[in-house]
Amino acid sequence: MANIRLLSEETIDKIAAGEVIERPASIVKELLENAIDAGADAVTVEIKEGGISFIRVTDNGCGIDPEDIRTAFLRHATSKITTADDLDTVESLGFRGEALSSIAAVSNVELLTKTKDSLLGIRYMIEGAKEVDFEEIGIPNGTSIIVRNLFFNTPVRRKFLKSAITEAGYVAEVCEHIALSRPDISVKFVNSGSVKFHTSGSGDLKELIYRIYGRDVSREILPINEKRDEISLNGYLGKPVLNRSNRNFEIYFVNGRFVKSKVIQNACEEGYRQYLMQHKFPFLVLNINIDPLYVDVNVHPTKMEVRFSNNELISDFISSAVAATLKVREMIPEAILSEVQKEAAIDVISGESGINHEIITKDSDDYSRDESPINTEDVFSAPEPFETNRVLESRENVSQGIFVQQDLFEDKLLSYDAMQDYRIIGQVFDTYWIIEYKDKLLFMDQHAAHEKVKYEALIKSYENRSVCSQQINPPVVINLTPVEYNLVNENLTSFESLGFELENFKGPDILLRAIPLDLYGRSAKDMFVEIVDELAETGLRKISGVICEKIASMACKAAVKGNTNMTEDEARALIAKLMTLDNPYNCPHGRPTLFSMSKQEIEKKFKRIVN
């Protein structure tokens, strides 16, 4: 009996799909590359459940002609090359004609596309490679591909997918790399309804790095720009302080394509050798442009690996360019001037006039100008009432001294009605505010008051679970002991309510993907580790206490400091906000925010009255 038979088309497709589509991130990569090849300058990627249940990639590119739609979903169907000769000079990201057919083989695909020449667009539905619908529809120019229910017909492969969070992380990485490879294209990435990043397409790579990896990273990067005959290099090198524990942030593109290459990797690390400790890796984003004749990108089905015809040349060039850039920057004194030296330098450079500050503030082109120490908008906006009375701190020290605060409770000073009746006299010692109210003089500590206001707002959003968090890129790996690891896992919800987004990493290590929006200069890692340490010490019963304490310390960092000038309007807004609190009279650490001195007290001091 014959045992050998031809496989069915469907089976062949599924097997082939396995080479191209490993996980949601592979689909996103293919669709993004198609969008770029289609000439789009704006692309949006949206995923749900890590892309397992839903991926949508929308572009404003050339669209697919109605006649070509069915063909586009056939294996080895491409508009990008005609013969093998074209492979040597191919400049598009795709050319194998495998992506759409592979995606359609293992999921349900909905394609919406319209070219600028057609009046109407087409909606095409294909499920597990079988056409279900093809109809005309009114849509804008461009293409939108929705992929649902990945691996619905290959359950074993579906099982190999990781958690939605992990898959979403892979997708994010793909989007980041593609966005970085094309500063001229606006890329938006939305995960489960929230925008993770949105690049402007302005063409400025530094701005792009800022938008993707955030302020702290974008502040610590150095431009690199080198050229030699058939190869050129440009991009940014992370200063050694940005060192990482893995190679995920050694990002390089060869002729616009994100690739992995041992040759490039070793060359970059060699360039950094004297600046990084062992097992530490650099942050870098490099565009390497090489004459296509020296590069073979046709190595791996997902095209991540490249081969060069002259490894040594490329490697020497890259490592010496990296080393030279780091070295030159290292010698510029601006980086090592102390505050005192800086001031002296300003004096020398600018004489009396105070100009020329640019010389010593090279970093002034970073994107941090919008960050003022006090965010008056946020803090001094209209007061919101708080419903619950929270008494979380010790109060022993509230009613010390002669000026007893309790009167304030009785008088109900801090009500809206009282607003009209008081007069702000002014600020003293850059820290305290003196307010006249009926027959009292009030003294307010601006730091304590502001801290209290911040604290209440933070507690409120913590309790309502409406804390804002920010994604951190790259995520921070935190090494934990197995005990700490369990502790963290048992308290995941509390951490989430605080604004941390955590993900299991290898072994007992965890990955910090998002952190509370308002950390105010605290390192997320430090804060997180402190909470864990305290949890470990105090045991589980006190989790809420530990968290409240952390919130208090966040509020403290956030609050306007003493010895800071504050305008009367700001003070007025602060008082208005303070008076809406149930307990406005002491800061989260128990120190008073306000005390009063009665007219009577003053008269006694002047011996106008005896009792």
The answer to whether 98 touches 75, Cβ cutoff 8 Å, is yes
206 binds, among ligand ADP, Mg ion, none (CB under 5 to 8 A by kind): none
> What six digits make up the tokens of 581?
């609190």
CA distances from 193 to 54, 175, 190, 197 (A): 12, 16, 6, 12
Structure tokens at 352: 């009396």
Q: Which is nearer to Mg ion, 32 or 179 (CB)?
A: 32
Which of 89, 389 has the CB closer to Mg ion? Answer: 89
Q: How far is CA 569 from CA 151, 435, 561, 565, 566, in A?
A: 60, 13, 17, 12, 8
The string of DSSP letters for 191-222 reads: ETTEEEEE---SS-HHHHHHHHH-HHHHHTEE
Task: Look at residue 128 and give the partner it binds from ligand ADP, Mg ion, none, a contact being a CB closer than 5 to 8 Å depending on partner kind.
Answer: none
Residues 97-116 that bind Mg ion (CB under 5 A): 99
State the nearest-atom distance from the C-beta of 17 to ligand ADP, in Å. 11
Is 79 a binding residue for ligand ADP by CB under 6 A? The answer is yes
Contact of residue 72 among Mg ion, ligand ADP, none (CB under 5-8 Å per partner type): ligand ADP
Using the rule CB under 6 A, which residue among 99, 217, 264, 488 binds ligand ADP?
99
Partner whose binding site includes residue 584, from Mg ion, ligand ADP, none (CB under 5 to 8 Å by kind): none
The least distance separating ligand ADP from the CB of residue 61, rounded to whole angstroms, comes to: 5
Q: Is 409 helix (H, G, I), strand (E, B) or coil?
A: helix
Instruction: Tell me the torsion sign for CA atoms 379, 381, 387, 389.
Output: positive
Residues 103-162 interacting with ligand ADP (rule: CB under 6 A): 143
Let me know: does 82 contact 95? Beta carbons within 8 Å. Answer: no
User: Interface with ligand ADP includes 182 (CB under 6 A)?
Assistant: no
Closest to Mg ion by CB, 29 or 188: 29
User: In whole angstroms, what is the distance from residue 467 CA to residue 514 CA?
Assistant: 12
Distance, CA of 255 to CA of 260 (rounded, Å):
13
Nearest-approach distance from CB 469 to Mg ion, in angstroms = 35
| H helix or E strand, kind and range, residue 536 | helix 524-538
Q: How far is the CB of 94 from ligand ADP (least distance, A)?
A: 3
Q: Which of helix, strand or coil describes residue 343? A: helix
**Binding track, positions 35-64, relative to ligand ADP; x by CB under 6 A:** x-xx--------------------x-xxxx
Under 8 Å between Cβ of 405 and 594: yes
**By CB under 6 A, which span of 30-38, 285-293, 333-341, 505-513 interacts with ligand ADP?**
30-38
What mask, x for binding Mg ion by CB under 5 A, covers residues 29 to 48? Answer: -----x--------------
Count the residues of the shown chain that bind ligand ADP, applying the rule CB under 6 A: 23
Q: Does 34 bind ligand ADP (CB under 6 A)?
A: yes
Of the residues 44, 78, 255, 405, which one makes contact with ligand ADP according to CB under 6 A: 78
Decide if 552 contacts 408 (C-beta within 8 A). no
Which residues are near ligand ADP by CB under 6 A? 30, 34-35, 37-38, 59, 61-64, 72, 77-80, 94-100, 143
Which residues are near Mg ion by CB under 5 A? 34, 94, 99
